[in-house]
Amino acid sequence: MYIIKLNATESTNVYLKELFAEVALNDFTVVVANEQSKGRGQMGTVWESEPGKNLTFSVLKRFDDFMVSQQFMINVMVSMALYKHLKKLQIPDLSVKWPNDILSGHHKIAGILIENILSGDKIQSSVIGIGLNVNQMHFNNLPNVSSIKLILGKNMDLDELLSSILKSMQETFAVLNAKDPSIVNTILENYKSVLFRKDKPSTFRNENDELFMGFITDVSAEGKIIVTLEDDVKKEFGLKEIKLLY
Ligand code: BTN
């Protein structure tokens, strides 16, 4: 594993992608930054993180033979590696909000931004960006956000935490590399079992800004969320098509 530590950069995902476009990098090259000036979140949002307080890092995962059609499994693997690790730290009431936010109760403590580099119908590599709120105590105007310190009441060593999370991620990806469908399936089932608001009546907003009620009942192999509506009608939604309201 190679770790590049930066004091400040625009975004570790951008840094890693640009570096990889110039030089051949090994599998599991990691870029970690103390501060990001333009941290990126999902769907064009901004990832805010107080300098020096949290983990903001990106991991390059290279694949030999991984079909684009299976790309959701990368989200599942990363989410479950983080989930399991946070569980070991005894963070209470953990769940994964589809597709890959990690929550404690109703509060988001980690976000994941995966950017894939494709070659035909294969994923050649993924830049996996993780923002984990660790020691930050105040999140202005972000009511549903928290940190490990706010939850557990203690400061964490960022370097130690990073290296143990990277180890968990390597172990989880070893499963994917081994291509054992039964273990991969078990991890997918574990992911589904820890989904936020699974089987609970929930309110959603669709692309046309309309609100509707339904139950999250499943996630398809392609990573679409399956919501059961009135009269037991099941409907699949992609990331841009639906928002689960708190
Ligand atoms: C989200 O929940 O919206 C995803 C947030 C991902 C944030 C991380 S921080 C490290 C990496 N670099 C970025 O610019 N974004 C990801």
pLDDT digits 0-9 by tens, 59-72: 999 999 899 999 99
How would residue 180 be classed by pLDDT, with cut points 50, 70 and 90?
confident
Residue of 5, 40, 55 best suited for mutating to test ligand 1, as the one with most atoms within 8 Å of CB: 40
- Ligand 1 contact, 51 CB (< 6 A): no
Q: What mean pLDDT is predicted for residues 105-114? A: 97
Of the options 2.60.120, 2.30.30, 2.40.50, 2.60.40, the CATH number for the domain spanning 201-244: 2.30.30
Residue 235, φ and ψ in degrees, nearest 5: -130, 140
Tell me: pLDDT of 38 over 80.
yes
Cβ atoms of 55 and 63 closer than 8 Å = no
Of 223, 219, 213, 217, the closest CA to residue 244 belongs to 213
- Ligand 1 contact via 41 beta carbon (within 6 Å): yes
Which pLDDT score is estimated for 246? 59
| pLDDT reading at 158 higher than 90 | yes
pTM recorded for the entire structure: 0.95
Mean pLDDT of the region 90-95: 97
How is domain 2-193 classified at the architecture level of CATH? 2-Layer Sandwich (3.30)
